[in-house]
Structures are given as C-alpha cells and as structure tokens.
Amino acid sequence: MSLERALSKFGVCSRKEASRVIEAGRVRVDGQVVVWPLRRIDPKRQRVTVDGRRVGDDAERIVLLLHKPKGLITTRTDPGGRPTVYSLLGDVGRWVFPVGRLDRDTSGLLVLTNDHRLGQRLTDPEHHVPKTYHVRVAGVPSAEALRVLREGAPLGRGETSRPARVRSLGSRRDGTWLEIVLTEGRNRQVRRMCAAVGHDVLDLVRVRVGRLGLGDLPPGRWRRLEAQEVRLLEGRVVASAADQEG
C-alpha cells in the first residue's frame, strides 16, 4: 500500500494530512527518509516511524481513556488555532488517534489509541457498539417525543436515526436529563435527534462506550486502560453490575 494510506490506516492522521507529514520529511521507512506519499511499502515487513516513533501493527498497543471537557475539538491540529484534546495528553510515547469524535460543546468519554482495528470495531455501525450519553434538554419531553427518539428520529436530508434506548433521568427547573444509548455515530446525532422532537440540548456528556464507563475520572484528565478494560471494549469479557460504572 502507499505510505500515505499506511499512516492513515494506522491512525497517525488522515491521508490528506499524511501527505504533508511525509513531504515535510518526518517519516522514515527502514531508517530512510521518504518524501513521496505514494511510495509503496509493505507495513508488515518494513519499519515505519513518524518523528522517530514507530507506527504499525507491531508497535506497542496503547489505549487511553480521556475525560474530554467542553471547549476542545477532537482533532490533532486546527488551522483556526482552537485548542484540541491533544493539548491535554502531553507525550504518551506513541501516535494515538481519537476513536470517533465529540464536538466542541460535548464532554465525556473519549478513547484514543494507536490500534486501528480496535478503532474500527468501536466506530463501525455494523458492530453495534453502544455509546451512552447523558443529555440535558430544555423543557420536559412528552411521551410521544420519547417514543420518536426510541423508534427513530428524522435527522434531515432523508436520514432517520436507528432505534435507541432512551429513558428520563428526571426533570428540574433547568431542564430534563435523558439517557440516550446509540449504536451509530452520525455527525451531531444526539443534538439533531433532540431538535427533531423540539427540545434544544443544553448539556451533553458521553458516559460509556460499550461496557467501559467514564467512572470518576475528572474532566481534562486521562489514563491508560488496563488489559481487562481493553477486553471490555473488545467485548471479550463480561462486566459485573458494579464494574465500570459510568
């Protein structure tokens, strides 16, 4: 495969960004600088490094859990200079990429990894990995509104959301908290679903991916997942009722 595709496949960056990284002389193949993005390589046999750090299937696997606060975007760099989640990570010793995205005004659980296979499993709609959100909406949704959210809300452009698990967590003067569990991840989906039933989103937090919960990790902090927790994400172990509480 081409070198630019390999960097994208291994989660280093997008293919467009990979071309810039390669042309800048930051990539080596078997110790030699390569500046041609379309250079054909065999990632199983050749050693690829970016800024001196090895990438590829045989690199040490890293899986991180970050509690993303509001105000950060989920990308490595931003041409407009907005702060990104990478400003919180520091040097973790490997390239990692975010598994899915949380928009600037959404907080909560974000997984970052250098394992492209894990990333694909968690984001591919065909795997039906549930993502759990706690959302505060304006007003009090009616029984009909909750029914539409559960059965499939119109998202515009001819799109309809998949059936979702939805329950009310209680109403207060400042709105109603809902728990919404999705098995797909369309752009700004929760906000679009709630708008479709007439309720603006005031707060949105992702509290769980699969069987991995956010727990008590403070906003802005991250930690490396234990092997048992990675197996939770991969669906290879069963969590107890008290385990991974989100």
Q: Where are the alpha helices (DSSP H) in the chain?
A: 3-9, 15-23, 116-123, 143-151, 189-196, 227-234
Beta strands in the chain (DSSP E): 27-29, 32-33, 48-50, 53-55, 63-68, 97-98, 107-113, 131-137, 154-156, 159-160, 165-172, 175-182, 201-209, 212-213, 222-224
Whether 162 and 184 have beta carbons less than 8 Å apart is answered as yes
Exposed / middle / buried, residue 38 (Cβ in 10 Å: 0-12, 13-18, 19+): exposed
Apex 151 CA angle, 129 and 182, nearest 5: 20
Catalytic residues: 103
Amino acid of residue 75: T
For β-strands 107-113 and 212-213, DSSP reports them as unpaired
Sign of CA dihedral 95, 85, 14, 110: positive
**H-run or E-run covering 138:** none
Query: How many other C-beta atoms lie within 10 A of the C-beta of residue 29?
Result: 18
